[in-house]
């Protein structure tokens, strides 16, 4: 039962992605009619050649970039939060990279903490 529910959500998410992809292509500073967008994507000749040029050279690459960027951010977020917290802390002394956390402390001051082989805290 749960698998069927997740499958339905997956299919609905796919349709939503396709709909927003097509809307991303058709909407912009120059609004291209949705029917013209579908004609251009199916390979048919359009009456207005500038629509076809804009769709193929500007909007399709922009839409693919948006989808790839969003999926990359989703995967990186999944990887970040699926790793247990103690293994995310850098504790090996030979690692030269340090992770720094900057947090506002009030009255224009910031609390800075660098996590590396030696832990330090300072206020700027």
Residues 21 and 78 placed together within one structural domain of the fold: yes
User: Are the C-beta atoms of 111 and 105 separated by less than 8 Å?
Assistant: yes
Residues 32 and 54 placed together within one structural domain of the fold: yes
| CB-based contacts of 119, cutoff 8 Å, min separation 6 | 113
Task: Supply the Cα-derived Rg of the chain in whole angstroms.
Answer: 24
Residues 6 and 65 placed together within one structural domain of the fold: yes
- Measured CA to CA, the distance from residue 31 to residue 3 in angstroms comes to 40
- Measured CA to CA, the distance from residue 33 to residue 46 in angstroms comes to 11
Supply the pLDDT for residue 15.
Answer: 95
Residues 40 and 23 placed together within one structural domain of the fold: yes
Residues 61 and 95 placed together within one structural domain of the fold: no
Residues 55 and 106 placed together within one structural domain of the fold: no
Residues 100 and 56 placed together within one structural domain of the fold: no
Predicted TM-score (pTM) above 0.75: no
Number of domains the chain is built from: 2
Residues 101 and 68 placed together within one structural domain of the fold: no
Residues 59 and 76 placed together within one structural domain of the fold: yes
Per the structure, the complete domain to which residue 97 belongs is given by 88-123
Supply the pLDDT for residue 95.
Answer: 46
Low-confidence residues of the chain: pLDDT under 70: 1-2, 83-124
Tens of pLDDT, residue by residue over 34-47, are 888 888 888 888 88
Residues 105 and 77 placed together within one structural domain of the fold: no
* Beta strand residue intervals within the chain, DSSP E: 99-106, 109-115, 120-123
Supply the pLDDT for residue 101.
Answer: 53
Residues 8 and 65 placed together within one structural domain of the fold: yes
The share of the chain scoring above pLDDT 90, in percent, equals 23
Supply the pLDDT for residue 65.
Answer: 93
């Amino acid at each position: 039962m749960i698998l069927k529910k997740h499958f339905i959500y997956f299919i609905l998410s796919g349709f939503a992605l396709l709909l927003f992809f097509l809307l991303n292509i058709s909407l912009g500073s120059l609004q291209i009619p949705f029917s013209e967008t579908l004609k251009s994507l199916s390979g048919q000749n359009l009456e207005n050649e500038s629509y076809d040029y804009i769709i193929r050279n500007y909007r399709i690459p922009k839409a693919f970039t948006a989808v790839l960027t969003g999926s990359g951010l989703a995967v990186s977020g999944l990887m970040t939060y699926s790793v247990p917290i103690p293994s995310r802390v850098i504790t090996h002394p030979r690692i030269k990279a340090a992770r720094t956390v900057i947090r506002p402390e009030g009255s224009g001051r910031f609390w800075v903490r660098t996590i590396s082989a030696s832990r330090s805290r300072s206020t700027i």
